[in-house]
Structure 1
């Protein structure tokens, strides 16, 4: 089949799919409340009436929250999340997902150690401030010639970082309760 004809067929299929999506099944019923509970639009209704704070990060909500430190915008405990970011701040951040609770750093070479580099992945698990609420995996590579090769990391390294995160989270929580 010539290329122009394939493109034309592809475009025709795309247009028919779009027109099919606009069928009568998707037309709104008259008098139906789009913002009813369970419709997925109740948050929009809250924003329209001023009863919703929107996305809340790090406990900046205008409404009272529970003692978990989670706020309403994070999927994980806000104290553990902030403490993990603070603890891993010496490493460049590759990505952070506050809803899934995953923080991934980029490779970091300590000053004076140009032949080795480290990377960390932190998992904040849950909305409660608990001692098992954070897990950190540390990865290490050493340079062999022009290549980086995976190397062993002392098992205590991840545990030490977790302990530092927990200590910082407790500090943040005590600061938060002192200002209430």
Structure 2
């Protein structure tokens, strides 16, 4: 029984090898040429790249934020980057709509540091399309950083600043296209 399975397996492997050696009948063979290493394909983001601001005159006045390559509203995205530009950005994901900053110590309060997580939640420019998480730490007498409370108004103030900047960008974009 084992010999029969081994013989059948050997015959199947031999047949597969013979079939694999056969050429393509009627098809033209292609061989590498001197264009090896050249960029023959398109862009990683498609033929048009990532569109950050809609320039088309479609309905809604660019309300969607344009661009098939970016997963969130481009006005909110750009406004969020502009708003947190004074802090060191650790991670920025335009497809997921997440901006994470590193700890920032204001010059006025050297024993305090802040960190922001900005979430763009929608492809439309809406008031509920952005959320900000604010983290604060204070330095104790021994020099260790300890978590401290953050007032809810802090996150709301940053969200409002992002929304205001996004509206300014949309108005400026519409003024250019009209």
Q: Which of these two proteins has the greater Rg computed from alpha carbons?
A: 2
Task: Tell me the CA shift for residue 65 of structure 1.
Answer: 7.5
Tell me the matched-pair count.
Answer: 134
Task: Tell me the CA shift for residue 64 of structure 1.
Answer: 3.8
| 2:152 is aligned with 1:155 | yes
Q: List 4+ stretches of structure 1 deviating above 6 A.
A: none
**Residue 149 and residue 57 in structure 1: after superposition, are their counterparts in 2 closer, same or farther (change >3 A)?**
farther
CA contact (8 A) 1:70 1:79 kept: no
- The CA distance in 2 between the partners of 1:160 and 1:80, in whole Å, is 15
Task: Tell me the CA shift for residue 112 of structure 1.
Answer: 2.6
Task: Tell me the CA shift for residue 100 of structure 1.
Answer: 0.3
Higher RCO, 1 vs 2 (CA within 8 Å, ≥6 residues apart):
2
SS of structure 2 residue aligned to 1:161 = helix
CA contact (8 A) 1:102 1:121 kept: yes
SS of structure 1 residue aligned to 2:131 = strand
Task: Tell me the CA shift for residue 57 of structure 1.
Answer: 4.4
- The CA distance in 1 between the partners of 2:133 and 2:50, in whole Å, is 28
Q: TM-score, normalising length from structure 1?
A: 0.67
| 2:76 is aligned with 1:80 | yes
- The CA distance in 2 between the partners of 1:82 and 1:96, in whole Å, is 11
- The CA distance in 1 between the partners of 2:160 and 2:78, in whole Å, is 14
Gaps of 5+ in 1: 1-23, 25-30, 32-43
